[in-house]
Structure 1
Amino acid sequence: MKRRIHFGSVLVYSLVWYLCSCSAFYLPGLAPVSFCEEDQGGEDCQTVIQLFVNRLDSVESVLPYEYDVFDFCKDAKEKRPSENLGQVLFGERIESSPYKFNFKQNVKCKAVCKKDYKKGDQDDVTKLDFLKMGMQLNYQHHWIIDNMPVTWCYDVEDGQKYCNPGFPIGCLVTADGRAKDACVINSEFNKKNTFYVFNHVDIKITFHSGASEGWRGARLVAATLEPKSIKNTDENNPTCEGGSPMEVPGEFDNDVSIIYTYSVTFEQNDDIKWASRWDYILVSMPHTNIQWFSIMNSLVIVLFLSGMVAMIMLRTLHKDIARYNQVDQADLIKIPSSKGNSSLPYEDAQEESGWKQVHGDVFRPPRKGMLLSVFLGQGTQIFIMTFITLFLACLGFLSPANRGALMTCAVVLWVLLGTPAGYVSARLYKTFGGEKWKTNVLLTALLCPGIVFADFFLMNLILWVEGSSAAIPFGTLVAILALWFGISVPLTFVGAYFGFKKAAIEQPVRTNQIPRQIPEQSFFTKPIPGIVMGGILPFGCIFIQLFFILNSIWSHQMYYMFGFLFLVFIILLITCSEATILLCYFHLCAEDYHWWWRSFLTSGFTAVYLFIYAVHYFFSKLQIIGAASTILYFGYTMIMVLIFFLFTGTIGFFACFWFVNKIYSVVKVD
């Protein structure tokens, strides 16, 4: 397969893109392009509108395919725009098509090409079978004009209009007469065991004239189409009106000829501005209104629960600190007894219990401190990457029109943030008393990224075997390895050097030489129940957004509400922190001082609920069939779960670390 991305230029492109985006204002994609009529063109005004085609995908299969894999009309002089790293990782494959239009020249029923399939030709049989597979699994075209998706807009329930950024190859009426997918839109699609090819499209291009705006020509603000199935017999004189639909029998008994045609009309609309030309697509998304209600509902619930946690913590902790400080200040003061003239020491009246009892063990280094420090270093890297990426997305730099920008930004940021990962890991490992600094820095740089890359490589092998366009070319894999080992690993070593060079984090209390025995714990203060309960509240504040994110990934819907996502991100930080602090306080009150790993796993267990929800989503929402698609779904889901586990676990750990240091530094324990 041809690829226009060169692995040697990936790093340069990514860095330049990132630096440019940081200093730019909102750009909804490319700069505006002006179009003029044929006799008025020039360098600043194009006359020909080129239609580009992207990969084809389906909600019933995880495997996308390039346009060229199907036997469609191809451009004689095929052009492939240079793709950025994010587009390659997402499997986007954009190329030119034979659909070319002169600006403001309406065309009616123009033939593009004719495809003949002979019954006895094995090559034709293979091509037609693959086309049938695409129609059976409801594969969708994705066409692009002026960096804008060509949408198929149709009416849905309640009189609303939905604009789909793709349209199907065709549809199928099963052997039992059941019309699948798009076959329900036409009553003429009624023959059993028959495929109907959408071989004709009526395209309407809307433009905004610059005559009154002070700029030359016009700018395209919308592109819509309506797919049709029309059987034409004469390629030179197609009619594209009336007649029977283009049928492809389920059994290849006779020769089949498919003539692909199109019509195009131009319409002027000066009410639509070029900067808001995506609005008609995004506003028509069926989840928009639900999104507003659901997000506000979740926000109120989470803020209420967070307030409850904060109130409990402040009131309870305030009483404990006041009581313990009062004990220390009135160490020898006698108070009258209610039973007579005798007196009792205040210490006997208020016996120490709970979290102060374990002050000599609370900072005892944890078991497997090496692994914990490595996880926290990687989690810090992921946290900073996520924060900056979402912030840039809120500013509009990573809008859907900026294809591949979101993934490119995330990868570049992850590569450049190796230094914080190495520093945090080394500093905490030194605090835990570790001495194997070489092992620590190597694991920080290689362990979690290695697991992700191994999973990603196995999924890529399956895509290669299946011939999917989502398969990453070998050159891009080499480029990713170069970014990892050439930039991220050295930066991790630099961060680790400064982390080990600095002194260990000073603890507010000394650690006893002999560990204190932990008393018998109740069911709710045992490790496993506490960890399982700790992930419920954080997951409750993200599962609504998680539904829309999974829809955008697996159901190929556009995700653009990054403002809401950033808000949920902040709520997730607060909720993970407060839930972990609350459970940590309960465990310390029960005189269980093993909080290091528990604080990480308590909020990190949210990732387990994410995996359970992903399994539920797979069986209840998706129509994916086939072993390869199933393996790919769960393979990529495991990468998401691991990243989310490190991210949430790190949030909970540092919140609890701050809390424990705070209370033991405020209270006099010596």
Structure 2
Amino acid sequence: MAADYRSRASCLAVIFLCLQLAQAFYIPGWSIKSYQEGESIPLFVNKVYSDNTQIQYAYSELPFVCPPSGRKHARTGLISGSNIALNLGEVLRGDRIMVSDYDLEMGKDEEARYLCSHEVDRAGLKRAIELVKNGYVAEWIVDNLPGATSFVTVDKSRKYYASGFKMGYEETSLSTGQPRYFLNNHVTLVIRWHKAPGRDGQHGEKVIVGFEVYAKSIEAENRDASGLPADMRNTRNGLELTMARNTTNTTLTRDESSYIVEVSDNGAEDATITIPYTYSIYYREEDHVEWANRWDLYFVNQEESSKIHWFAIVNSVIISGLLTTVVAVIFARTIRGDLKGYKDAGMEELRLGKRSRGMRSPRRSDEKKGGLLDQIDADATPGADDGSDDDLPAEDITGWKLVHGDVFRTPSYGHLLAPIVGSGMQLVFMALGLLLLSCFGVLNPSFRGGFISVGLALFIVAGVFSGYFSARVYKTFGGSQWQHNAVVTATLFPGMLFATIFILNLFVWAQASSTAIPLGTLFGLGALWLFIQLPLVYAGSWYGYLKGGAYSHPIKATAIPRQIPLQAWYARPVQAALIAGLIPFAVIFIELLFVFQSLWSDKSGYYYVFGFLAVVSTILILAVMEVTIIAVYIQLCSENYHWWWQSFFLGGSSSVWIFAYCVYYYLHVLHIRGFASGVLFFAYCGLACGVYGLLTGTIGFLAAYGFVRRIYGAVKVD
């Protein structure tokens, strides 16, 4: 029964993941939706967000907007107020999409249309003022396009979109000098369409290539019986968010502005304010925008900055080229020369040994297989006969040659390093998969929440690789309890990540934010880990430990560890890691500006120059590998053989500089307000830097491991 239960639960978890990924999948050029003349177009409301805070709210849950009427939209089967099924990524990013009451029909213009009049109490009014004061913008969706405000470039040659529209605006009273807050209660919707491709276009059908929203504040007075303003073209006064009565309007001819003399209400707790909502709809043909490239207007700013992207690539190539030159010099001159000297000295020692020592010249079979460095170590062993002192001059054995008997010694806390490296390999496979899918266009802004959903799926599937590499490294370090190592590998990183997110969730739960992860989603994530991630890691560990086995080393460690001399200040672990981390940070610094702008400043999350990102990421990987190799070589030359952990820290040390840049960005670029928003910002940045550090640290560890094995196993004596 228990086995049947686990099997059913595993199947349910797989189905849950597949359903989450299937929602809203979209490939440009294939998923085209065309509309006939007069066909109903559903409008969805999503959420409100701000550049000044990390707290998001569901638009439909705001206390001052029109509640859904439950009306059924013709020929769509959608009912206003019903929630749209979301994929896992949409839920985690705070989306809450609901069908609205806005009635749109293809090709039918409406100069003014009444939606509702909503009565708001003091609490709702205070909430509205808070959102307007913090600069919140609303996100609506039509045909999978987010509603946008239209702008033009500085040279006025191109138009571009900024997602969302403002909930209101703030003004300073001319009479009192106090701030006044106005709510945008009227929206003008502009639907831009293009002739549908193929046969649909021949039948007069149209596709939507643009969705623009222009918000406006219109006073509640001076309206007709239908709730519409008397004159839509002449609405000077906005809807102020106050319980006060507007008694006098006075026109100032000097600056052609007006002010309102305010009087306070009687302070009754049940006082309310009525907010009327209206909207206009216009359909305009757009000849220059095809359906396949309708998202381009959202990325004009990124395209305009292509010169900066190219500068970032050139900067990265120059840095990587310098590092490659240094590594080439190390391999081609220093190490090869050292190994050649070893070989020549070894061959001379063999010739002299055969002549002078007679029966002592033949080597044992294990020494012959061990390579030249093993032979040198054997000759230097205490207790050898007196002829060994003349084999090799002492002054020739310096630097990294002296630690050949300790360089492959099992590191301290190797049982912890193995799961960390395994988790890092899991992240490497996930990142490569996301980057490839993004470059091929499978992951794009239309696939809302796709990065998180697909990234989570790739992370779970890559659990096989995590267990495999972790088990092999664990066995290399002499571990015997591979089952325990498999559980630690499957739990360590996901457990820390889940615990951090759960604690952060408490903050957003307290704020009633849409960013809060629902309890059902938390249970779903737990099921994915327990019934899919854990078995995959276990299977990979079984194969890696029993079938793959331990990695072989060209030299065996000596019985007695060598004493490490005093290290220079720049060769000490912390200083060396910080210095090494500066170079990869310099490689990605410029591209990092665009990523930060997309995630934190624009809040759109629409980063679309994946070609540049792929090139910079490739150069970053090369830079991390080369920096780690150079730093480990310097460390070995300093006769410090504790390189296992140090190579990991060297590879991931640029994450420290990235986090320091996050602090600078928070203090000097962003305008985030509130304790909860600050906690969320630094927590998210810390998680991102931790993931980045784990990924690059693993790359650095593997590069150093391959380098050390290469230089100490390069020469064999026949």
TM-score w.r.t. the length of structure 1 is: 0.88
How do residues 45-194 of structure 1 correspond to structure 2 at under 5 angstroms? 47-70=39-62, 71-77=64-70, 78-117=81-120, 124-155=121-152, 157-159=154-156, 161-174=159-172, 192-194=178-180
Letter in 2 for 1:220: I
CA contact (8 A) 1:147 1:401 kept: yes
Deviation, 1:327, is: 2.1
Aligned counterpart, 1:588: 636
Cα distance, 1:317–1:650 mapped onto 2, change above 3 Å: same
Q: 2:411 aligns with which of 361, 366, 374?
A: 366
1:349 deviation in Å?
9.1
**Residue-by-residue CA offset, 1:15-65 (whole Å, 9 max, x unaligned):** 3676999xx9x8139711111123xxxxxxxx0111111110001110000
- Say if 2:655 is the partner of 1:607: yes
Q: 2:335 maps to what in 1?
A: 317
Letter in 2 for 1:562: F
Residue type of the alignment partner of 1:172: E
Deviation at 1:444, TM superposition (A): 0.8
2:60, 2:98 within 8 Å by CA — same for their partners in 1? no
Cα deviation per residue 1:577-631 (whole Å; 9 max; x = unaligned)?
Answer: 0000001111111211111011011111112112111111111111111111111
Matched-pair contact (CA < 8 Å) for 1:73–1:97: no
Q: Which residue matches 1:41?
A: none
Which residue number in structure 2 is paired with residue 43 of structure 1?
Answer: none
Q: 1:482 aligns with which of 523, 527, 550?
A: 527
SS at match of 1:266: strand
- Tell me the CA shift for residue 89 of structure 1: 0.8
Residue number among 184, 187, 191 corresponding to 1:198 in the alignment:
184
- Return the letter of the residue paired with 1:166: G
- Larger displacement relative to structure 2 (649-658 or 292-301): 292-301
Q: Secondary structure in 1 aligned to 2:100?
A: strand
In the TM superposition, residue 526 of structure 1 has moved relative to its aligned partner by 2.3
Structure 2: how far apart are the matches of 1:72 and 1:473? 23
Which residue does 1:353 correspond to in 2?
Answer: 398
Q: What residue is the counterpart of 2:592 in the other structure?
A: 546
Secondary structure of 1:506's match? Answer: coil
Quote how far apart the aligned CAs of 1:207 are: 1.1
Name the Cα RMSD after superposition. 2.7
Distance across 2 between alignment mates of 1:290 and 1:134: 37
Q: Which amino acid in structure 1 is aligned with residue 164 of structure 2?
A: G
Instruction: Specify the code of the residue in structure 2 equivalent to 1:75.
Output: P
What amino acid is the match of 2:662? A
Give, in whole Å, the separation in 2 of the partners of 1:564 and 1:226: 33
The 10-residue stretch of structure 1 (597-606 or 431-440) with the greater mean CA deviation from structure 2: 431-440
Separation (CA, whole Å) in 1 of partners of 2:196 and 2:650: 59
For 1:623 and 1:355, how far apart are their aligned partners in 2? 51
Select between 447-456 and 267-276 the one with higher mean Cα deviation.
Answer: 267-276
Q: Which residue of 408, 427, 433 maps to 1:388? A: 433
Alignment check: 8 A CA contact 1:146 1:220 kept: yes
Residues 162 and 390 of structure 1, relative CA distance in 2, 3 Å threshold = same
Q: 1:282 aligns with which of 296, 299, 315?
A: 299
- Which residue does 2:210 correspond to in 1? 222
What's the offset of the Cα at 1:210? 3.5
Whether the 8 Å contact between 2:148 and 2:163 is mirrored in structure 1 is yes
Is 447-456 or 554-563 further displaced after alignment?
Answer: 554-563
Inter-CA distance 162–209: structure 2 relative to 1 (3 Å threshold): closer
1:42 aligned residue: none
Q: Structure 2 vs 1, CA of residues 270 and 162 (structure 1 numbering), >3 Å: closer, same or farther?
A: closer
For residue 469 of structure 1, report the CA deviation from its aligned partner.
0.4
Residue 37 (1) aligns with residue 55 (2): no
Any idea what SS the aligned residue of 1:658 has? helix
Residues of 1 paired with 2:197 and 2:588: CA distance? Answer: 48
Report the alpha carbon displacement of residue 174 of structure 1 after superposing the two structures with TM. 4.5
Taking the aligned partners of 1:552 and 1:164, their CA distance within structure 2 comes to 11
Instruction: Tell me if structure 2 keeps the 8 A contact 1:193–1:250.
Output: no
Partners of 1:472 and 1:363 in 2: how far apart?
46
* Matching of residues 462-481 of structure 1 within 5 Å: 462-481=507-526
Partner SS, residue 215 of structure 2: strand
Q: Could you tell which deviates more after superposition, 630-639 or 299-308?
A: 299-308
Deviations along 1:195-232, whole A, 9 cap, x unmatched?
12222222221111248766431111112122222225
Name the structure 1 match of 2:383.
none
Q: Give the structure 1 partner of residue 567 of structure 2.
A: 521
Q: Distance in 2 between matches of 1:665 and 1:20?
A: 52
**Relative to structure 1, is the Cα distance of residues 90 and 579 closer, same or farther in structure 2, using a 3 angstrom cutoff?**
same
Asked if structure 1 preserves the Cα contact closer than 8 Å seen for 2:14 and 2:532, the reply is no
Contact 2:148–2:162, Cα closer than 8 Å, also in 1: yes
- Tell me the alpha carbon deviations over residues 612-669 of structure 1, each in whole angstroms, 9 at most, x when there is no partner: 1111111111111111111111222222122112111100000000001111111348
Q: How many residues align?
A: 626
Q: Which amino acid aligns with 1:127?
A: G
Range with bigger deviation, 638-647 or 152-161: 152-161
Q: Is 1:30–1:147's contact at 8 Å kept on the other side of the alignment?
A: no
Percent identity over the alignment is 34
Which has the higher mean CA deviation after the structures are superposed, 380-389 or 566-575?
Answer: 566-575
In the TM superposition, what whole-angstrom CA distance separates every residue of 1:473-512 from its partner, at most 9, and x where no partner exists?
1000000000011110111111111222133211111211
Letter in 1 for 2:216: K
Partner of 2:346: 328
**Kindly tell me: are residues 475 and 576 of structure 1, through their superposed partners in 2, closer, same or farther at Cα, counting changes over 3 Å?**
same
Q: Deviations over 1:135-172 (max 9, x none)?
A: 00011011111001221012464436442111110011
Residue 470 of structure 2 is aligned to residue 422 of structure 1 = no
1:241 counterpart (233, 246, 251): 233
Kindly state the Cα deviation for residue 8 of structure 1 after the two structures are TM-superposed: 9.6
Cα gap change, 1:251 to 1:317, in 2 (>3 Å): farther
- Aligned partner of 1:516: which letter? R
Contact 1:463/1:470 (<8 A) preserved: yes
- Could you list the per-position Cα deviations for residues 93-147 of structure 1 after superposition, in whole angstroms to 9, with x for gaps in the alignment? 1111121211111110112112234xxxxxx000111011000001101111100
Q: Output one character per residue of 1:313-365: Cα deviation in whole Å (capped at 9) or x when no partner.
A: 2332232222222222333679xxxxxxxxx9894396121112211111000
Letter in 1 for 2:667: F
Pairs within 5 Å for 1:419-568:
419-502=464-547, 503-555=549-601, 556-557=603-604, 558-568=606-616
- For 1:182, the equivalent position in structure 2 comes to none
**Aligned counterpart for 2:706 among listed residues 628, 641, 658:** 658
Measured against aligned partners, the alpha-carbon deviations of 1:532-551 in whole angstroms (never above 9, x if no partner) come to 21211111112222222222
Partner amino acid, structure 2, of 1:495? G
Change (3 A) 1:518 1:191: closer
The CA deviation at 1:285 is 4.7
Distance 1:162-1:65 versus aligned 2 partners, 3 A rule: same
1:267-305 deviation per Cα after TM superposition (whole angstroms, max 9, x unaligned): 123332111111122124587346424423433333333
In 2, the alpha carbon distance for the partners of 1:669 and 1:591 equals: 24
Compared with structure 1, are the counterparts of its residues 311 and 408 closer, same or farther at alpha carbon in structure 2 (3 Å cutoff)? same
Q: Secondary structure at the match of 2:211?
A: strand
State how far apart, in whole Å, the 1-side matches of 2:467 and 2:530 are.
14
Unaligned runs of 5+ in 2: 1-9, 71-80, 245-263, 266-271, 353-388
Worse overlay, 280-289 or 572-581: 280-289
